[in-house]
Amino acid sequence: MTTIVKKKKKRKTGLNIKAKKKRAAARAVVKKGSGKIKVNKRDLGVFEPRYLKEFIEEPLHILPDVAKEVDIKVNVKGGGFMSQGAATRSAIAKSLVLYSKDAKAKQAMLAYDRLLLVDDVRRVESKKPLGTKARKKKQKSKR
């Protein structure tokens, strides 16, 4: 009989960071490298639409010296494309601040946009009975 040897999954080395926006959850792994950024195994340079790419790149413009010396891989799931973009942006910003270990970097991020480092806790309200949405109810008739 032959025995089947299971291969162990390769653990992601580096710093692990997570960020959320609505239903979208992004997980980032940051390592020392040459400034490459990948989102869902795709290079950020070929990202579409263009305004979303620029939105995701904002933390890289705030800390360009740190961004050039690290490689960041982001895996994002759930939500819509804009929520995924916001979660990715937040994960990249958190990873740059965590890697730099600098209080000034954190202050720079917070001064630019607080949502870069603080996750948005707002969620969609659940639907209630007698209505089509969370708050909307059927219109009452007087006659």
Pick the CATH number of 20-111 from 3.30.230.10, 3.10.180.10, 3.40.50.970, 3.40.50.1110: 3.30.230.10
DSSP β-ladder status, 70-77 and 37-39: parallel
| 8-state DSSP, 79 | S
Tens digits of residue pLDDT in 31-40: 999 999 999 9
Which H or E element spans position 88?
helix 81-100
Rg of the chain on CA atoms, in Å: 20
Three-state DSSP state, 3:
coil
Residues 24, 87: contact at Cβ < 8 Å? Answer: yes
What letters, b where the CB count within 10 A reaches 16 and e where it falls short, cover 36-66?
ebbbeeeebeebeeeebeeebbebbebbeeb
**Selection from 104, 75, 78 nearest residue 92 by Cα:** 75
Indicate the domain borders of the chain: 20-111
What's the pLDDT score for residue 14? Answer: 86
pLDDT at 139: 83
What average pLDDT does range 67-90 have in this prediction? 95
**pLDDT per residue over 97-137, tens digit each?**
999 998 999 999 999 999 999 998 988 899 998 889 999 98
Question: Which backbone phi and psi does 120 adopt, to 5 degrees?
Answer: -80, 120
Residue 44 predicted with pLDDT over 80: yes
